[in-house]
Amino acid sequence: MKAIRFKVTGHVQGVGYRQTCRRVARSLDLVGWVRNLPDGSVEAFAQGGEAALDGLLEWAWHGPAPSRVTGVESDVVASDPTLTDFFVQPNPARLRGETGGSGRDR
C-alpha cells in the first residue's frame, strides 16, 4: 500500500475543499485525512492504490468549483495501518478555542 502527504495552496479554505476531498478520496477507496493549515493551505494524507492516489492528486489541482489552486506539493510517506476511513480534521483555530468573524482584537 502506498501513502502520500500533500499540501494545496491558493484559495482553498472556506470553499468546501476538505469536504469534497473526503468525498473524492472515499470514492477512490482511499483512507486518510484532510485539514486546514493556519497559513491558509490545506494538507492531506492518503493511502491506497497507486492509481487511486494519482487520481486524488489530479483532482487536488482543480478542487471544488469555488477554489483557486495555485500549487500542490506531494511526498511519498510511510503508511498508517490504523486508518480505516478518510476524514476531515477540525480547523486548528477551533482546536484553540478561537472564533472568527468579529474583526476585533481579543
Domain boundaries, the chain: 2-78
**What is the per-residue pLDDT for 90?**
85
User: Contacts from 37-41 at CB under 8 Å and sequence distance 24+?
Assistant: 37/7, 37/92, 38/92, 38/93, 40/9, 40/12, 40/13, 41/7, 41/8, 41/9, 41/12, 41/13
**What is the per-residue pLDDT for 94?**
55
The architecture (CATH level 2) of 2-78 comes to 2-Layer Sandwich (3.30)
> What is the pTM assigned to this prediction?
0.85
- pLDDT single digits (tens) 5-54: 999 999 999 999 999 999 999 999 999 999 999 999 999 999 999 999 99
Cell of 34: 484532510
Q: Could you list the active site residues?
A: 18, 36
